[in-house]
Amino acid sequence: MLEYSMLYPRTTLSRRSISMDGMWKFCTDAKSAGEQEGWNDGIPGNDRIPVPASFQDFYTEKDIREFAGDVWYEKDMFVPGEWERKKIFIRFGAATHRAVVYVNGRRITEHEGGFLPFLADVTDAVRYNAYNKVVVKVNNELTVTNIPCGETHILPDGKKMNRPYFDFFNYAGLQRSVHLVAVPREYIFDFDLQYALSGKNASVHYAVKTTGEHAVELSLLDQTGKEVATAKGKNGTLEVENARLWRVHDAYLYRLVVRILDGDAIIDEYEQNIGIRTVEVKGTSILLNGESVYLKGFGKHEDSDIAGRGFNICMMKRDFELMKWIGANSFRTAHYPYSEEIYEMADQEGFLVIDEVAAVGMFESLMNFMEASTGKKTAFFEKETTPILLKAHKRAIEELITRDKNHPCVIAWSLLNEPETTNEAAVPYFKEVFELAHALDVQKRPRTFALIMNSVPGACKCYSFSDIIALNRYYGWYVKGGYEISEAEVLFRKEMDEWKALNLNKPFLFTEYGADTLGMEHKLPSVMWSQEYQEEYLNMTNAVFDSYDFIRGEQIWNFADFQTTEGILRVNGNKKGIFTRQRQPKDAAYLLRKRWKELPPYYKA
């Protein structure tokens, strides 16, 4: 089990949280000499960059944008004297892909996995009523033993180069917020929630984990601040009469307050907004509160100009407004867990989220988007290093579910994206990750993974693990594009007929489909890359979606254009966005808006 709490930092009666975001000192370490040269006591130079942000796009030197190796960050933090009897942590929202943390020259902790939080316990390392020097070494090299997967290549001039097995740029650094946190010595470590509905009433079953033995009390408040339910004990039930349910675009949130008490005195207090809702898969239906829902939305990326993959609060707001405008109700956090603030926004706006762990690149290819439909087999899970990868993957799943399990927006876990599944070696690997996710989630949300185009009936060994069959398909783009689109539709329907013949009695969801389109390119008659062709492509795929009752959702790839590794098949990034990278609509946005606004609320129910 995790040795540190994943609860989001909040200031309450008993807790303090101070943002450490802002300008940090920064330097690259091409020779990996920082530790030998004592950079843990302070890094050289005077360069500064913003945190949170990716480091690559601030500079004009290509050697920094493409840098692979160690980069170092430094910041001074003041620790108030009144915190001296508390536990003191530095909480990193993410450090991509691995980090070592030093405080006042002392090595505190390390973490691998670039898209989930971790805590550095600095209680015994800080000086109170004084400034303390925080130094972080971050490494962005890709390997086959950590997710996302790739390789690091040495060029003839000795420089390192990342070669991802995935089709998005390997942005890195301190890409999410950093907080200095103080909590009582006895504090609320974690809590689990699950829901049951009975007529107009609801039961909220809970289990609270603390670091001590004092009594626990819970209070549930509605949006007016009125207390609607209370309970005592670390395990129990909050009974809510006339419960307001959390629904799509009607996101009623209650405020849950958890306290540790010593008599009437509060030892610790934590609060979080929660939504009362149930999620399950029944036959070919995805049910929210017992009612069928058809998913309309996107695969997305955390990606924007200059900030890269760094959390961008302005872009987050714009993205949600665009998704509401176009009629979407859902998105997948492709291909990694997003910043926690995005889940809080989805909670508030009533969007459904398929939460994906960073298990991408498990199909060994430097151009997986091209080779995904060739029948290529990579025997990816037969490597000698696979046990190391599996351990890292399972750790990431534990961190993901622990972090996100109490968000009402999260309706499913995506445990891999486009892995190699045509080899029997994948089966025991899948078994372990799917069983772990089921064991960790008390709500037993559906689990899925996104099937690469090679993973078709008769070839895929692993689709049976999924509660929702999620397909990434590009008929009309990577397969039979352009004037051959009529043949693409024939092949598309042939595959769907093969899935139908299996009679799996499970919902199918398209987690990727799309066509690269340049925002200013028009051509009549159409050619690939033109806006006219993107619309032709969508008309074809939409017709297929509407032809099969077991298809219960469409999440197009991608919400917006995004940065990728440079190459002859990418014009400064992936251009499959329905919106440009600057979040302006392409013509296809209006086509999707018309379709999604006109689909009935319970389509195919």
Identity of the amino acid at 163: R
- Give me the pLDDT at residue 372, please: 55
Tell me how many degrees the CA angle 514-573-367 measures, rounded to the nearest 5: 75
Mean pLDDT across 345-350 = 98
Q: What is the pLDDT of residues 105-125, one digit of tens each?
A: 999 999 999 999 999 999 999
* Residues 373 and 357 both lie in one domain: yes
- Here the CATH number for the domain that contains residue 196 is 2.60.40.10
* Residues 221 and 236 both lie in one domain: yes
- Give me the pLDDT at residue 9, please: 97
3-state secondary structure of 591: helix
* Residues 242 and 263 both lie in one domain: yes
358 with 394: CB under 8 angstroms? no
* Residues 323 and 460 both lie in one domain: yes
* Residues 104 and 155 both lie in one domain: yes
| Alpha carbon 122 to its chain's center | 28
Count CA atoms closer than 13 A to 41's CA, side-chain side: 3
Q: State the pTM of this model.
A: 0.96
pLDDT > 90 fraction of the chain, expressed in percent and rounded: 94
What is the overall mean pLDDT for the chain?
95
Q: Which of 277, 293, 323 is the last residue of a domain?
A: 277
- pLDDT band at residue 369 using 50, 70 and 90 as cut-offs: low
Tell me how many degrees the CA angle 167-170-174 measures, rounded to the nearest 5: 145
Q: Is residue 581 part of a domain?
A: yes
Residue range of the domain that includes 531: 280-598
Mean pLDDT across 160-187 = 96
Q: What is the pLDDT of residues 373-389, one digit of tens each?
A: 555 566 789 899 999 99
Q: Is residue 209 part of a domain?
A: yes
- Here the CATH number for the domain that contains residue 32 is 2.60.120.260
- Catalytic positions, please? 418, 512
* Residues 369 and 457 both lie in one domain: yes
Q: Is residue 10 part of a domain?
A: no
Using the predicted structure, report yes or no on whether residue 46 has a pLDDT greater than 70: yes
- Give me the pLDDT at residue 363, please: 82
The CA distance from 331 to 354, in Å, is: 6
Residue among 93, 81, 118, 124 at smallest CA distance from 19: 93
Using the predicted structure, report yes or no on whether residue 543 has a pLDDT greater than 80: yes
* Residues 197 and 154 both lie in one domain: no
* Residues 164 and 68 both lie in one domain: yes
- Give me the pLDDT at residue 376, please: 59
Q: Is residue 515 part of a domain?
A: yes
Token pair listed for 291: 């009612």
Residue among 356, 354, 344, 320 at smallest CA distance from 407: 344
Mean pLDDT across 196-208 = 97
Please compute Rg for the chain using Cα positions.
24
* Residues 265 and 310 both lie in one domain: no
466 with 505: CB under 8 angstroms? no
Q: Is residue 587 part of a domain?
A: yes
Q: Which of 256, 277, 298 is the last residue of a domain?
A: 277
* Residues 244 and 348 both lie in one domain: no
Q: Is residue 130 part of a domain?
A: yes
Residue ranges with strand state E in 170-326: 178-183, 188-198, 201-210, 215-221, 227-232, 235-240, 246-247, 250-251, 254-262, 265-274, 279-282, 285-288, 291-292, 295-299
Q: Is residue 603 part of a domain?
A: no
Q: Which of 277, 293, 316 is the last residue of a domain?
A: 277
How many domains is the chain built from? 3
6 with 12: CB under 8 angstroms? no
Mean pLDDT across 236-259 = 98
- pLDDT band at residue 371 using 50, 70 and 90 as cut-offs: low
* Residues 590 and 517 both lie in one domain: yes
Q: Is residue 64 part of a domain?
A: yes
- Here the CATH number for the domain that contains residue 382 is 3.20.20.80
Using the predicted structure, report yes or no on whether residue 270 has a pLDDT greater than 90: yes
- Give me the pLDDT at residue 129, please: 97
- Give me the pLDDT at residue 378, please: 65
* Residues 311 and 348 both lie in one domain: yes
